[in-house]
Amino acid sequence: MTTTSPHATAVGPHATAPSGPHATSPETVITDARERIDVLDDRIIGLVQERMAVSAVVQQSRIASGGRRVNLSREMEILGRYRDALGRPGTSLAMTLLELCRGRI
């Protein structure tokens, strides 16, 4: 069984602010969390850009070998993976990623 200190700060959907004599103000917690979100967003954007570049390589290779630019069965796999991991909104996110990665050749 895991126990946490009343002063511990968690990361994730159930994160709580520290309490006690070293408690941080809500404004500080919000500012710190927003800074972390900005860092995460920068990483996500970089990963999406990397995904776009890799997708372009796949498309170029597929077309050069006489295939189609888009592989619908592969796209369905991706949609399913995102839906399974993130629920219904994951499908929308995957569709946006697929749209970003299509036809940039």
- Per-residue pLDDT tens digits for 46-103: 999 999 999 999 999 999 999 998 899 999 999 999 999 999 999 999 999 999 998 6
Secondary structure of 11-77 as H, E, C letters: CCCCCCCCCCCCCCCHHHHHHHHHHHHHHHHHHHHHHHHHHHHHHHHHHHHHHHCCCCCCCHHHHHH
